[in-house]
């Protein structure tokens, strides 16, 4: 079985929470292929230097779109996106586009810590888009 390909994104007010989440799950994440938008990836790497994180551009500079393209090319198995619903987002259109692509391609998507815990638990059991398809589940 190939490594789970996981995208990690967090709004500014949620970046520390994402870094803490990564630290808590560093053992599992160490076996994943990780993609993250710019600053989110940097914060994760600072907290967990042993993790190999492929940093893309920051969200407002195209990082959300890069992750969306990876999803469209079947290069992402799950998306964890810690959203801050209380702060205005200048690149809200990009955020909505990323979520729409994840929905269209039926990629598991967590938008807060509670749902992210559930997504990781499912991935650890071998459930999820490409992981499950490889094991004979849905295609």
pLDDT for residue 1: 57
pLDDT in tens, the chain (139 residues): 579 999 999 999 999 999 999 999 999 999 999 999 999 999 999 999 999 999 999 988 999 999 999 999 999 999 999 999 888 777 788 889 999 999 999 999 999 999 999 999 999 988 765 444 444 443 3
Residue range 5-134 forms a domain whose CATH class is alpha beta
User: Which residues, in sequence order, are CB contacts of 113 under 8 Å at separation 6+?
Assistant: 17, 21, 82
Q: Is 52 left (phi over 0), alpha (psi -120 to 50) or beta?
A: beta
pLDDT for residue 91: 73
CA distances in angstroms from 1 to 45, 68, 131, listed in the order given: 25, 24, 7
Q: Output 50-59 pairs: Cβ under 8 A, ≥24 positions apart.
A: 50/26, 51/22, 51/26, 53/8, 59/9, 59/91, 59/94, 59/95
pLDDT for residue 70: 98
pLDDT for residue 129: 53
**Residues classed as catalytic:** 64
Whole-model pTM: value is: 0.89
Domain ranges of the chain: 5-134
């Amino acid at each position: 079985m190939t490594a789970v390909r996981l995208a990690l994104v967090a709004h500014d007010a949620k970046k520390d929470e994402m870094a803490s989440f990564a630290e808590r799950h560093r053992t599992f994440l160490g076996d994943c292929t990780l993609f993250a938008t710019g600053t989110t990836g940097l914060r994760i790497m600072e907290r967990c230097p042993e993790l190999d994180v492929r940093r893309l551009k920051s969200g407002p500079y195209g990082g959300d779109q890069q992750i969306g393209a990876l999803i469209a090319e079947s290069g992402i198995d799950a998306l964890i996106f810690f959203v801050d619903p209380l702060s205005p987002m200048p690149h809200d259109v990009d955020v909505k586009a990323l979520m729409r692509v994840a929905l269209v391609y039926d990629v598991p998507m967590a938008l807060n810590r509670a749902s992210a815990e559930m997504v990781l638990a499912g991935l650890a059991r071998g459930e999820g888009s490409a992981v499950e398809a490889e094991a004979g589940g849905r295609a």
